[in-house]
Amino acid sequence: MLDVNYRSFRGRVCEYKDGETSITTPAVLRTVNGPCDDRIHILVEGGSRFYVDNGVKHPLDGGQITSTSFGLFKGGVVMCGEKVASVRLPLPEKIELPETVEVLLLSNAYDLRGNARALVDAVIKLRESVGYNVVLGFLGIAEPSTLALLAYMGVDLFDDSLCKVLGSRGVRTIPEGLIESAGDVTESNVNDLMIECAKVSDFIRGGRLRELVDQRVSSSPISVAALRVFDRVGYDYQEEAINNAGSRFSCNTTQSLRRPDVLRYRKTFMERYVKPPHKKVLLLLPCSAKKPYHTSKTHKRFSFSIHASNFDTVVHEVIVTSPLGVVPRELDCFYPANSYDIPVTGEWKCQEKEFIREMVSHLMDQGYEKVISHLGEDTELIAGLRDDIVETVVGDSVSPASLTNLENALRDATVGMKVGDYAEDRKETIRSVLSFQFGKDIADRIMDENTFGTGRFPYWKIQRNKVQLAMMSEERGAFSLTVDGGKVVAESGRNIVNMMDFELKGNLFAVGVIDADPGIRIGDEAVVMKNGEVVAVGVAVMSGKEMTQLKRGIAVKIRHKAKK
């Protein structure tokens, strides 16, 4: 029985119970040569290893033992008890486990230690084969500098055998790497591994495991290579576990530019975002340390100058930043735009320049009559994308001269333009936000000719015939649906969670889910349906696949239920 209590990308804190046995993952199993008080441990006996669970021994190093359930295996060795299975490298082409299996162990994971690509392939293959409801263990590979990365990839269980072997050879294993030492340092190595495991758990609970991984991988070239490969070939695997309402995080390393949540933002922007059609002047602004940007003193000064031009309805404010590229003002409450920190030095890496130019160019292609840059020296990032870009900064972006230039440039750029209607401006800007959140088809379904928006950014409401469909807030960082709004979204066939036929009294738990849209991510809006009818709306606490695979835990945190 498995409860997933916390998640951070593919890393997770779980409670696994088997009768009287209970273990919280990520966990390090002790390797012993004799009696042990731990209900779950690794026993070395007679030259072989055994996974011991409450006194029951499961062989890890036996000969070619294959149960009849595993007739399709080629090249791998699997020993399977009722609840525990073990697989050895090289992995079989196809992995199918009995539904009773709750723990899968890769017994010779040590063989992956020097091969970054093989490690990534093995983790992804095994985790995708067994799904979310199985505890995945890699034995013989963990030490303090690699445990965070392995947990981030999706491994739940480890053992202390590598640290013990290295310690007996006088090699000290610490989070910063391996150090030659004098004498036997086994005890110190194991202690540091246990401390690191607890630290990994803390970072998972805080939703910030990737930051710890970015710090730890610099300890060795192989770890750096593994993370780079994982980010490149494992993006889809990682993206499935993204929390779209994540916590604040720091991008302090080059690796952090390839975080899957950052990549997903850029990808979603390029694929879904459509600018409000009435915005004729593109105004490029620098980011701010305070998030969301509109709450910062700097951006409030920018806003004053924009409003002073009296043509703010035709001006489109877009923030240029790393690691996200560009953030239209109307999206600055969305994750991860509302949550990131990055060192500001005035120096731009080649990767940053590349994706910023690509995204600004993509935005310009949607059609603006004028472009104004209030980026100062960073205008060089977009040099050559258009010949008519007007630069307004003199020294500091909030200096009196700069703000005066900005006002004058906006007035000049809007000469002859028709002042937009504020109601229409709000409606079309809301449509752009909905396109980013749900896709253009759903945005158009919601914002039809009978729908309008009310309120001031970022506290917008969407109404149709005096019925509220959704509401956006800075705290939520996205539009939240009402039941009526959920019915409109359900027409698209997306964001739907089908539940069993029972009365929904509180939140919807995974055990009550029949199926769910596999595109649902943690933090997304979820529309709960029963027998073809929308019965509730809320926020997804699991991904769509998790909802169908896990047997325990909240799947959807319910906000509104349909009236009977």
We report the CATH number of the domain holding residue 549 as: 2.30.130.10
Do the domain assignments include residue 20? Answer: yes
Give, for 341, the enclosing helix (H) or strand (E): strand 340-341
- How many other β-carbons are positioned within 10 Å of the β-carbon of residue 278? 17
Both 220 and 357 in a single domain? Answer: no
d(CA 189, CA 168): 10
Residue 314, both tokens: 């035709």
The last residue of one of the domains, among 382, 413, 444, is 413
pLDDT tens for each residue of 338-355: 999 999 887 899 999 999
Task: Tell me the mean pLDDT in the region 300-324.
Answer: 91
The last residue of one of the domains, among 215, 239, 263, is 239
Both 153 and 279 in a single domain? Answer: no
Do the domain assignments include residue 248? Answer: no
Do the domain assignments include residue 305? Answer: yes
Do the domain assignments include residue 420? Answer: no
Closest among 32, 24, 72, 67 to 52, alpha carbons compared: 32
Residue 334 belongs to domain with CATH number: 3.40.50.10630
Both 227 and 268 in a single domain? Answer: no
Both 90 and 119 in a single domain? Answer: yes
Answer for the pair 503, 512: CB distance below 8 angstroms, yes or no: no
Both 161 and 14 in a single domain? Answer: yes
pLDDT tens for each residue of 403-448: 999 999 999 999 888 877 899 999 999 999 999 999 999 999 999 9
With a threshold of 0.85, does the pTM exceed it? yes
Do the domain assignments include residue 197? Answer: yes
The last residue of one of the domains, among 214, 239, 264, is 239
d(CA 35, CA 33): 7
pLDDT tens for each residue of 150-196: 999 999 999 999 999 999 999 999 999 999 998 999 999 999 999 99
Residue 211 belongs to domain with CATH number: 3.20.20.105
pLDDT at position 80, please? 66
pLDDT band (50, 70, 90) for residue 48: confident
Radius of gyration of the CA atoms of the chain, in A: 27
pLDDT at position 419, please? 79
Both 286 and 229 in a single domain? Answer: no
Could you give the percent of the chain with pLDDT greater than 90?
84
- Using the predicted structure, report yes or no on whether residue 54 has a pLDDT greater than 90: no
> Backbone phi, then psi, for 421, in 5-degree steps?
-80, 130
Alpha helices, DSSP H, located in 421-536: 422-438, 440-446, 483-490
Do the domain assignments include residue 337? Answer: yes
Please state, rounded to an integer, the average pLDDT across all residues of the chain: 93
Both 298 and 378 in a single domain? Answer: yes
Do the domain assignments include residue 418? Answer: no
Lowest mean pLDDT among 58-62, 290-294, 509-513: 58-62
pLDDT at position 251, please? 93
Please, which residues bridge with residue 243 across strands?
522
Both 86 and 193 in a single domain? Answer: yes
Domain count, the chain: 3
Task: For strands 325-328 and 315-321, give the pairing.
Answer: antiparallel
pLDDT at position 62, please? 56
pLDDT tens for each residue of 73-123: 344 557 667 889 999 999 988 888 888 899 999 999 999 999 999 999 999
pLDDT at position 79, please? 65
pLDDT at position 65, please? 37
Closest among 203, 240, 182, 145 to 6, alpha carbons compared: 203
CA dihedral of 464, 482, 207, 129, whole degrees rounded to 10: -100
Answer for the pair 179, 185: CB distance below 8 angstroms, yes or no: no
Both 523 and 547 in a single domain? Answer: yes
- Using the predicted structure, report yes or no on whether residue 17 has a pLDDT greater than 70: yes
Q: Which residue has the higher pLDDT, 195 or 47?
A: 195
Both 449 and 487 in a single domain? Answer: yes
pLDDT at position 76, please? 59
pLDDT tens for each residue of 509-552: 999 999 999 999 999 999 999 999 999 999 999 999 999 999 99
Please, which residues bridge with residue 175 across strands?
none
323 upstream amide cis, omega within 30 of 0: yes
pLDDT at position 69, please? 38
Both 157 and 229 in a single domain? Answer: yes
Query: Could you tell me the sign of the dihedral formed by the alpha carbons of 198, 199, 201, 205, in that order?
Result: positive
Judging by beta carbons within 10 Å of its beta carbon (0-12, 13-18, 19+), is residue 121 exposed, middle or buried? middle
Do the domain assignments include residue 529? Answer: yes
pLDDT at position 73, please? 38
pLDDT at position 311, please? 81
Could you give the percent of the chain with pLDDT greater than 70?
97
Q: Residue 526: which domain range?
A: 433-561
CA dihedral of 399, 400, 402, 404, whole degrees rounded to 10: 160
Residue 527, both tokens: 């529309």
Both 159 and 270 in a single domain? Answer: no
Query: What is the SS3 string spanning 500-526?
Result: CCCCCCCCEEHHHEEEECCCCCECCEE
